[in-house]
Amino acid sequence: MNQLQIISQDGQRVLITSQLAESYGTDSERITKNFNRNKERYKEGKHFLALEGKELKDFRATCQIDLLPNINKLYLWTEKGAWLHAKSLKTDEAWDAYEMLVDDYYSVKENIPTLTKEEAEALLFRRTADMIVKIPQLEQKIEEVDQKVDKQITLTQWEQRKLQREVKRKVYKFSDDKEERKYLFPELYREIYDRWGIPSYRDVLRKDLENVITYINAWVPKKKDEEKGEIA
Q: Is the dihedral of CA 131, 136, 139, 140 positive or negative?
A: negative
- Predicted local confidence at residue 190, as pLDDT: 95
pLDDT at 87 over 80: yes
- Predicted local confidence at residue 70, as pLDDT: 82
Give the residue-averaged pLDDT of 77-96: 91
pLDDT at 232 over 60: no
- Predicted local confidence at residue 223, as pLDDT: 63
Number of residues assigned to the chain: 232
147's CB contacts (< 8 A; 6+ apart) are none
User: pLDDT digit string (tens) for 39-70?
Assistant: 999 999 999 999 999 998 888 888 877 788 78
- Predicted local confidence at residue 36, as pLDDT: 93
52's CB contacts (< 8 A; 6+ apart) are 72, 73, 74
Q: How far apart are CA 219 and CA 216, in angstroms?
A: 5
The pair phi, psi for residue 188, each rounded to 5°, is -65, -45
User: pLDDT digit string (tens) for 152-184?
Assistant: 788 999 999 999 999 999 999 999 899 999 999
